[in-house]
Amino acid sequence: MAFDPAHRKLIGMLTPSSNTVLEPATAAMLAGLPEASAHFGRFRVTEIALDPAALKQFDEAPILEAARLLADARVGAVVWNGTSSGWLGLEADRRLCAAIHSATGIAAGTSVLALVEILRRQGARKIGLVSPYLDGIQARIVENFQREGFETVAERHLGDRGNFSFSEVGEDRIAALVREVAKARPDAISVFCTNMRGAAVAPWLEKELGIPVYDTVATAVWAGLRLVGVPPKRVVGWGSLFANFGD
């Protein structure tokens, strides 16, 4: 398909300030779609923990300001490309989407809400989780997914406060963690962090393990494409997420 400037599909992505993975990964996933592009707005996130200062990073005000700046680019959707509702509770993302729409008039989505939708469409009930997070953060994620109806049958996490350091975890290490979780035979596995290099390893791990592997950068791209009216199935080579839920 040739580029047509009159029919561009612009996706706004809200990005943690210390994240260095999601932007190139998103661009790579969209490389075969000449009409679709992602545009990024940052707000300050430098660590992931449960103390008040770390939690305050996810207050709505700075996120909404970043969303308003993305609206200046006339994006067709705004997606929070981050996993904070894993420990804050998924209602935080639902409120955020409503607040973004109210502030900008633009449809909004998130990585985590997209992941939950995909898991439900698959019919998954038992899940595996791989993350870089601290013990307390990982425990909150497990609890919040339980509230949404998903049992975490296996998990691995690195005990890192991050956030920049998450990007330095190599693909081989991520793949090893996914393989460990896969031993419990969950219905699906999520690499749950948008500053980890899970998107690149997901397709070949799915073939090796016979289990869907959903990376949260990929789920954000999936959400953004759907919101701007581009079928996600046009993203080729990035795993079962796009092939099986590509409408």
Close Cβ partners of 72 (under 8 Å, ≥ 6 residues apart): none
Is a pLDDT exceeding 50 seen at residue 1? no
Q: Tell me the pLDDT band of 20, cut-offs 50, 70 and 90.
A: very high
pLDDT of residue 5: 61
Domains of the chain in start order, with CATH, are: 5-113+217-244 (3.40.50.12500), 118-215 (3.40.50.1860)
CA-based radius of gyration for the chain: 17
Percent of the chain at pLDDT > 70 equals 98
Cα separation of 169 and 6, whole Å? 40
Query: If you write DSSP's letter for every residue of 149-170 in order, what string do you get?
Result: T-EEEEEEE-----SGGGGGS-
126-139: average pLDDT: 98
* Cβ-contact 134, 161 below 8 angstroms: yes
Phi, psi (rounded to 5 degrees) for 66: -65, -40
pLDDT of residue 188: 98
pLDDT of residue 247: 87
Give which of 237, 191, 240 is closest to 211, Cα–Cα. Answer: 240
The DSSP output letter for 234 is G
Whole-model pTM: value is 0.96
176-188: average pLDDT: 98
Q: Tell me the pLDDT band of 4, cut-offs 50, 70 and 90.
A: low
Q: Tell me the pLDDT band of 6, cut-offs 50, 70 and 90.
A: low
Q: Model confidence over 56-109: pLDDT tens digits?
A: 999 999 999 999 999 999 999 999 999 999 999 999 999 999 999 999 999 999
Close Cβ partners of 6 (under 8 Å, ≥ 6 residues apart): none
Average pLDDT, the chain: 96
* Cβ contacts of 157-160, under 8 Å, gap ≥ 24: 157/129, 157/130, 157/131, 157/132, 157/133, 158/131, 158/132, 158/133, 159/133, 159/134, 159/135, 160/132, 160/133, 160/134
Is a pLDDT exceeding 60 seen at residue 172? yes
161-172: average pLDDT: 95
